[in-house]
């Protein structure tokens, strides 16, 4: 049982993938481990609950991965999405160690889906969890439980008390009751601050109150801010966040993948005034979907409306909500509470500017507008076959990039670059070291797994001394 009077060898802050990897690793080295999860048991697992796979380097086909994916190719993919904004040493460490991750994960009860033959390109680079991220977290928590990791749910860490470059004790709140934990080493793995709207407002002003948070409401960044205030070196642009256009009717938090919409290239997107504001057909969607969150964030009331007609209804994956539907544009405007005349004018001007072409949803096609500002450069078809449809869109924040600087031992560095004595970081809290901007599917889980294990191993060494 949890004993807050004892001195734990390793204290793990957080309850997602990186935290569990660290806790299990340290416990398997014989250390006493306490894991503090802010969420209640039913909502444990941070944003890992919403993940599906991790990106794995491998030299030959396996039962769950096709072909091969070399260190260099992996690194080139990372360079491409981050435009070079990465720490090459830590990045290559993550990539190499990802190649050893799967057997270890399986030893913790992780199950994977067999490789899908055929067209799904991710089956070469990414290992898919059977049942998804929440099932993986269930397996990890079960393993942690069985080997004797102590876990407290509903427990928020408030302050880490530094003495020089060491943390000796930590103030926590257990189900609202204050307490103190003493530990020989601390692993901070409690994510970014994307669910902290007040913090987001520091960069985005009042607009942030209209943001939707796609993942856990518990990623409030309290430990991250505490560490930065105590002189830990930051990494990553604090203003940047990964944001998509998601269904505006999604819940404030935790809407996850089912609120995502891919309707933009097949529609026009207007703002609250009924005006278009960006080229919906600029490039193929996978290259553009991550800019739409911030585009919407700059529009009045942070909302947009994708407008399309019955020709396009089945061209994209819908969200979990049904589209708003009407036989006329004016009727659609009434339901969306948009100025009807303005919306009608926008659609009319768009329709007359569309040039005939050969529509092809799979590539940049010849369907575009002429004389329209902003233009729609591809997949432009007139919106003229009722019923007309709309999905309301809002910015959906996936994660923030700000983190703490770490070295190859996952040890947190102070301003100036001196390593702390006994503080380690893993997961989203330090992912900005490797993913400075952009996004690569399955990289977050790879970083969390690799650095969680490194942090657990190194923290266990501290307890030995």
**Identified binder of other proteins from the candidate list 103, 163, 206, 314, rule CB under 8 A:** 314
**Identified binder of other proteins from the candidate list 59, 76, 142, 355, rule CB under 8 A:** 142
**Identified binder of other proteins from the candidate list 138, 166, 353, 361, rule CB under 8 A:** 138
Interaction of residue 206 with other proteins, rule CB under 8 A? no
Using DSSP, state whether 178 is helix, strand or coil. strand
Nearer to other proteins, 249 or 457 (CB): 249
Q: State the nearest-atom distance from the C-beta of 459 to other proteins, in Å.
A: 27
Of 444, 409, 363, nearest in space to 81 by CA: 444
Q: State the nearest-atom distance from the C-beta of 45 to other proteins, in Å.
A: 8
Mark out the alpha helices in 207-365 (DSSP H runs).
Answer: 222-229, 285-288, 292-297, 329-336, 340-353
Q: State the nearest-atom distance from the C-beta of 318 to other proteins, in Å.
A: 7
Token couple for 380 = 């432009």
Q: Is the dihedral of CA 363, 51, 317, 381 positive or negative?
A: negative
Cα–Cα distance between 104 and 112 in angstroms, integer?
13
Nearer to other proteins, 124 or 134 (CB): 134
Q: State the nearest-atom distance from the C-beta of 111 to other proteins, in Å.
A: 7
Q: State the nearest-atom distance from the C-beta of 313 to other proteins, in Å.
A: 9
Token couple for 153 = 């749910």
Element (H, E) at 123: helix 122-125
Q: In this structure, are residues 434 and 75 in contact, taking their beta carbons and an 8 Å threshold?
A: no
Using DSSP, state whether 315 is helix, strand or coil. coil
Residues 6-65 that bind other proteins (CB under 8 A): 40, 42-43, 49-50
Interaction of residue 132 with other proteins, rule CB under 8 A? yes
DSSP state of 280: T
Cα–Cα distance between 359 and 366 in angstroms, integer?
7
Nearer to other proteins, 43 or 367 (CB): 43
Using DSSP, state whether 331 is helix, strand or coil. helix
Q: State the nearest-atom distance from the C-beta of 188 to other proteins, in Å.
A: 24
Nearer to other proteins, 103 or 118 (CB): 118
* Interface pattern 220-259 for other proteins (x via CB under 8 A): -------------------------------x--x-x-x-
**Identified binder of other proteins from the candidate list 124, 134, 225, 272, rule CB under 8 A:** 134
Element (H, E) at 79: helix 71-82
Nearer to other proteins, 42 or 337 (CB): 42
Q: State the nearest-atom distance from the C-beta of 308 to other proteins, in Å.
A: 16
Nearer to other proteins, 83 or 317 (CB): 317
**CA angle 364–366–372, rounded 5-degree value:** 105
Residues 328-387 that bind other proteins (CB under 8 A): none
Span interacting with other proteins, options 84-92, 314-322, 364-372, 442-450, rule CB under 8 A: 314-322
Distant-in-sequence, close-in-space partners of 125: CB < 8 Å, separation ≥ 6: 55, 56, 65, 69, 74, 77, 441, 442
Token couple for 345 = 């004018």
Interaction of residue 448 with other proteins, rule CB under 8 A? no
**Identified binder of other proteins from the candidate list 99, 318, 331, 438, rule CB under 8 A:** 318
**CA angle 80–82–83, rounded 5-degree value:** 65
Size of the site for other proteins (CB under 8 A): 22
Nearer to other proteins, 107 or 418 (CB): 107
Using DSSP, state whether 195 is helix, strand or coil. coil
Cα–Cα distance between 325 and 347 in angstroms, integer?
16
**Identified binder of other proteins from the candidate list 83, 111, 147, 385, rule CB under 8 A:** 111
Span interacting with other proteins, options 133-141, 153-161, 333-341, 454-462, rule CB under 8 A: 133-141
Q: Is the dihedral of CA 24, 398, 116, 124 positive or negative?
A: negative
Task: Please give the residue ranges that form the binding site for other proteins (CB under 8 A).
Answer: 40, 42-43, 49-50, 111, 118-119, 131-135, 138, 142, 251, 254, 256, 258, 314, 318, 320
């Amino acid at each position: 049982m949890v004993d807050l009077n004892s001195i734990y060898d390793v204290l793990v802050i957080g309850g997602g993938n990186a935290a569990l990897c660290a806790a299990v690793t340290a416990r398997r080295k014989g250390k006493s481990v306490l894991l503090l999860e802010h969420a209640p048991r039913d909502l444990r697992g941070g944003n890992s609950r919403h993940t599906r796979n991790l990106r794995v380097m491998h030299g030959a086909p396996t039962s769950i991965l096709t072909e091969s994916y070399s260190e260099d190719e992996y690194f080139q993919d990372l360079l491409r999405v981050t435009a070079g904004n990465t720490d090459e040493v830590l990045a290559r460490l993550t990539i190499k160690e990802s190649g050893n991750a799967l057997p270890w994960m399986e030893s913790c009860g992780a199950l994977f889906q067999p490789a899908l033959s055929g067209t799904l390109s991710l089956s070469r680079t990414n290992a898919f969890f059977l049942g998804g991220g929440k099932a993986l977290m269930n397996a990890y928590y079960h393993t942690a439980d069985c080997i004797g990791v102590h876990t407290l749910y509903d427990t928020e860490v408030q302050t880490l008390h530094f003495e020089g470059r060491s943390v000796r004790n930590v103030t926590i709140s257990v189900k609202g009751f204050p307490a103190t934990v003493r530990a020989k080493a601390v692993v901070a793995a409690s994510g970014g601050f994307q669910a902290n709207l007040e913090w987001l407002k520091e960069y985005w002003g009042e607009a942030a109150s209209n943001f939707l948070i796609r993942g856990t409401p518990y990623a409030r960044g309290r430990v991250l801010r505490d560490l930065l205030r105590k002189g830990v070196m930051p990494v990553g642009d604090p203003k940047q966040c990964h944001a998509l256009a998601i269904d505006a009717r999604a819940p404030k938090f935790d809407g996850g993948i089912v609120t995502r919409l891919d309707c933009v290239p097949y529609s026009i997107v207007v703002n609250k005034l009924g005006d278009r504001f960006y080229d919906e057909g600029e490039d193929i969607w996978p290259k553009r979907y991550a800019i739409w969150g911030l585009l919407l964030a700059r529009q009045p009331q942070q909302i947009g409306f994708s407008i399309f007609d019955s020709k396009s209804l089945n061209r994209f994956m819908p969200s979990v909500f049904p589209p708003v539907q009407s036989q006329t544009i004016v009727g659609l405007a009434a339901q969306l509470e948009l100025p009807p005349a303005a919306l009608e004018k926008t659609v009319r001007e768009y329709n007359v500017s569309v040039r005939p072409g050969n529509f092809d949803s799979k590539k940049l096609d010849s369907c575009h507008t002429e004389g329209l500002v902003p233009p729609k450069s591809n997949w432009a078809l007139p919106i003229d076959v009722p019923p007309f449809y709309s999905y309301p869109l809002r910015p959906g924040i996936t994660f923030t990039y700000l983190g703490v600087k770490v070295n190859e031992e996952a040890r947190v560095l102070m301003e100036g670059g001196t390593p702390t004595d006994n503080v380690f970081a893993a997961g989203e809290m330090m992912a900005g070291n490797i993913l400075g901007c952009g996004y690569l599917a399955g990289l977050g889980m790879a970083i969390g797994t690799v650095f969680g294990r490194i942090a657990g191993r190194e923290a266990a060494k501290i307890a030995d001394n």
